[in-house]
Structure formats: C-alpha cells, structure tokens
Amino acid sequence: MKGIITIAVLFVAILQLNSQRRFDVQFVVDGRMRESIIVQPSTPPPAGGYPVVFMLHGTSGDGLKFYNISGWKELGEDENFITVFPSSLSWCFVEDGVEKNNTRWVNGNVTDYPCSGPPQNYADDVKFLKVLAKKIADTFPVNEKMVFCSGFSNGCSMIHKLAIDAGDVFAAVAGTSAPLMVGDSARPINRIPVWFMVGTLDDRFIVPPFTELPYGGDSILTYLNPFINRALVCQGLKNEFIKTEKDSSHSYQFLNNLPGEISKPYIFSLIKNMTHEYPNGINYPLSAPKIFWEFFKRSVAVNTEHPERPSNEISANPNPSNDFIEFSIPAYNQSYQWNLYDAYGRLRMNGNQTPDESFKCRKSDLGTGLYIFQADLGNRLLSKKIIFN
C-alpha cells in the first residue's frame, strides 16, 4: 500500500475482521466533512490491482449500516476486492406530501422535491464519490478500470445519477428499489452498463388499486414505463429487449442502440415477493452482491470502448427559462434533424434545421419541466438538457 497521508484525508485502521482491514475515512469536500468506511481484503491484490465496489445506503441510512448488512464486505474478502461504504449528509425533502429531514444522497430524490423556505446549499455528492475514488486509488493498489457502485433505494437513484455524471470513474452500476429521477436525466458523460432491480411487493412502487406489482406477461413494462423509458433514452437504447424468465424473477435486457448512438446495456429485473429491501441472501433468498459482482465483471470484459466526452456545441439560451429557449450550433454549417423529448422519453417536437440559423422553443408549447434536446449530425448525436420553470 502506498503511504499517503495528507491534511485532507487520514486513513486510520481501527478494526480487523477475518484479517480484513477496516479504515474509517474523513475528509473535506467543498467545506463539508465527509465520511466513509473502506475495507481491504486480507490477500494481496490481483494482477492489475484490487477492484473496488462502492455500496450506497438509502434514506435514513449511513455507510455503517450497509457495512453491516449488505453482504459486500464478506464477498470482497472471498473475491479479493476493496469495498467502500460512504455516508451521505442530511437534507430537507418532501415525501408523500410531508417535509422531512433525513440522510439522503443529493439527486432527484432531494432536488425534485424541495422543502418550502430558502433553497438549500446542496452538496455535490457526485464530486464527493469521485474524490473518494481518487483518494482510494492514490492510497491502495487498485485497478481503476474496475471501480463499480451499487445502491439501495435513494442510493439506487444515486447509482443512476452516477451512470449519467460519473461514467468516467465508474465502470458499471447496479441497484435495487429506485429509478433514475427526472432531474438527473441527461446525456451521460460516458455510458456504462446499468442494472435496476425491484420487488413485486415494494410499496414505493405500488399504486392503488394494485396491491403488488404485476408479474404476469410483460405488463410490468407498461406499469413502470415512465421510469424505464426515461433510462433507455439516456442510455441511447431502443425499447427492444431479451427476456429471461425464472420462477422468482423476470429480467429484461435492453441492448439495441438508437441510430447514431453508442449505447451500453440496461437491465431491469422484477423479483417476485421481494419488498423494499437490498437482498443479501438472508432477508430474501437472493444475494444482490453475488449477482451484481458477476455483472460487474462481465461489464468490464465487454466494455472496450473509449470514453465519450460531453459536447458543449449546442447553445441553448436562456436555460433554465420562463418563456423561450433559443437553440443553435454555432460551429456546425450543415442542415441537421432535431428531436425534443420530455423527461419520460416521449417525443414532443422535432424538425429539420438549416445551417447557421437558430430557432426557439416556447414554454407555452411544452409546459414546465425538464426536456432533452437532441441534434442528429449524421455521424454523431449531440444532446442538451433544458428546463422550463
């Protein structure tokens, strides 16, 4: 292990379990003290360095809770990879019409449901997790191409956000019990494989008169269409799937890219009789760590693309807007086709644009909300997230 101790971060080994080494971490990001638990396996690193798996807790949880119950640290010892259990901060948010204060990762679960009163100065949790990954790589012998993240509930919404904003650090993500949120929907920095799992008895998704999520046929895809379609648009995927049926689960693999897109797989699984939980093999007869670990390893084996870089070539002003947004691509001098999608992945407007000209979209034609503007230049596709207040 490289010996790196700085003022910003101090790794202190405080516990050994089965020869694993546990480190508690505290360091400052943007003026806030952040915390995490890191567990190093007892055996030397494999060729190329240790893989790393982050586990993100849900609302009201913290890193210690999922260090204890998720099953990841035990699997990390068996499979020889580092496990990481960071903690979020506490925020005010609205849930079921009630303002609450609790720990939550800052994603659409928080920002899409703000409390009354002055705006909160939200932490950048994507930045925190990326900084944490960098500090781990600077301290331990790790394989930076094998950094993964799993999450539960609000932590699952966070892994979806990481798939949008941190695909340059994380190679694949997987989680249970929460979808990609509206406010986090955008064209990813670099698309990575995503696996989203939910149980038929998860009360966060049950809407009366239903008493459980539909398990027969493919009706779940209609039931959860807004969530799934939103993710597919961001992943650059067609709504075409390969289905795998088992007695206790239905899984849908979306693999076919939209024209002009470089996509990555999106997998959705419906688990029979599972509640709002992160299955560890004890609370439910399925181990998410074991299943997701195999998925993570496969993702690296097939993911050989060079990272895409975000494009800033679309000009959209003003954004956000209370009236209209004017679009142009100043550096592009040919005609192109454009599409405008809402946050649910539905096509709302489209057209063809002549060179060197701008055009406007008006709030009166679309309504308030988040939209994704896409311009097809033939050999590449540009995207821009816009908001009408």
Mean pLDDT of 275-294: 98
Mean pLDDT of 43-61: 97
Provide the pLDDT for residue 7. Answer: 29
Residue 307's pLDDT band (cuts 50, 70, 90): very low
Provide the pLDDT for residue 311. Answer: 42
pLDDT tens-digit map of 119-164: 999 999 999 999 999 999 999 999 999 999 999 999 999 999 999 9
Residue 6: pLDDT above 70?
no
Domain positions in the chain are: 12-302, 315-388
Task: Tell me if domain 12-302 and domain 315-388 are identical in fold.
Answer: no
Residue 19's pLDDT band (cuts 50, 70, 90): confident
Mean pLDDT of 86-105: 98
More confident residue, 326 or 52: 52
Mean pLDDT of 10-26: 68
Residue 40's pLDDT band (cuts 50, 70, 90): very high
Q: What percent of the chain has pLDDT over 90?
A: 70
Provide the pLDDT for residue 344. Answer: 65
Mean pLDDT of 377-385: 74
Mean pLDDT of 350-370: 83
CATH architecture of 315-388: Sandwich (2.60)
- Of the listed ranges 244-248, 261-265, 276-280, 312-316, the one predicted with least confidence: 312-316
Q: What is the chain's mean pLDDT, rounded?
A: 90
CATH architecture of 12-302: 3-Layer(aba) Sandwich (3.40)
Residue 34: pLDDT above 80?
yes
Residue 97's pLDDT band (cuts 50, 70, 90): very high
Provide the pLDDT for residue 379. Answer: 65
Mean pLDDT of 191-206: 98
Residue 309: pLDDT above 50?
no
Distance CA 226, CA 231 (A): 9
377: left (phi over 0), alpha (psi -120 to 50) or beta: alpha
Write down the pTM of the prediction. Answer: 0.77
